[in-house]
Amino acid sequence: MALHPINRALSYGEPLLFMLVALYRFKGFFLVLFDIATLKVSPSELLSYDAISDRVFGKMWLRISEMETVVPALVGSASGTVLEIGPGSGNQLARYNKSNVTTIFGIEPNRHLHDELRANVAKFGLQDIYRIVPFGIEEVQRMKSFGVEEGSIDTVLSVQVLCGVPDPEQVCKRMYRLLRPGGTMIVYEHVEAKDWLSRKVQGVYQIAWPWLMGGCSLVRPTADYLLSAGKWETVDLTSSAKEDPWLVIPRVSGKLIKAKS
């Protein structure tokens, strides 16, 4: 495939654009300073890097989430009991097909996004079927108290989350175990680049990217983690890097159906 230099240069500028917007919108940092000055942050939270980082990301995400790529067809195909990992402020809520969904568990550990998420749940008329689970997907025991058990979920949905979770390989295995046999994993994730120069560019961006983008990584082989999470009956994943190998933020999207036995 011919790599048109203009396309390549445009692709290599994409993370920079995101980071500039994040910086421009980085009022979150100042809003958190204001929270500290007005004693809204408890002393224990003040001493925790993770707690402060969550607070900053929560405030920033509320301001940039409208930029997220839409994935309406994938989200619209979710059915039954759905577990959405990392719903954030609820960008995907409008895209659910309500007649096909019975329950949605929104696994969202960042409590600074919960008010907005709750408001969006009500806005889209999902309050009777939506439950916010206020901790990370790795909290197996605590999730059980919400009725989230292994083999109990019809659809797991992950939209731009696996780039930011700690230990994504384990998280993919965990999501696999939560699915019932025959259940569907729906994903839309950005992943490591295919071509070597694009990988180098990713490596340079990666120095600052996690700091500005709430711990997100540009360089994860997420498709490999999903494929090796367990036995799949069907794998229907599309990689934008197949068409455009120079992309510096390539996406993997589609569905994997868990084997019945």
Q: Which residues bind ligand SAM (CB under 6 A)?
A: 65, 68, 85-88, 91-92, 107-110, 113, 136-138, 159-161, 164-165
Task: Choose between 41 and 107: whose C-beta lies nearer to ligand SAM.
Answer: 107
Q: CA 111, CA 158: separation in Å to the nearest integer?
A: 18
Beta-carbon contacts of 260 under 8 Å, excluding residues fewer than 6 positions away, are 181, 182, 233
E-strand stretches of 51-117? 80-85, 101-107
54 or 195: whose CB is closer to ligand SAM?
A: 54
State in angstroms the smallest separation of the CB of 78 from ligand SAM.
13
Task: Give the C-alpha separation, 8 to 196, whole Å.
Answer: 13
Type of residue found at 181: P
User: Minimum distance from CB of 164 to ligand SAM (Å)?
Assistant: 5
107/193 with CB nearer ligand SAM: 107
Taking the complex as a whole, the smallest distance from the CB of residue 57 to ligand SAM amounts, in Å, to 7
Beta carbon nearer to ligand SAM, 49 or 196: 49
CB 236 → ligand SAM: shortest distance, Å?
Answer: 20
Smallest distance, Å, CB 36 to ligand SAM?
21
Q: Rounded to whole angstroms, how far apart are CA atoms 102 and 100?
A: 7
Q: Helix, strand, coil proportions of the chain in percent (round to 5)? A: 45, 20, 35
Of all residues in this chain, which one has the CB nearest to ligand SAM in the complex? 86
Task: For residues 119 and 51, give the distance between their C-alpha atoms in angstroms, rounded to a whole number.
Answer: 23
Residue whose CB is less far from ligand SAM, 108 or 195: 108
Nearest Cα residue to 237 out of 221, 226, 246, 248: 226
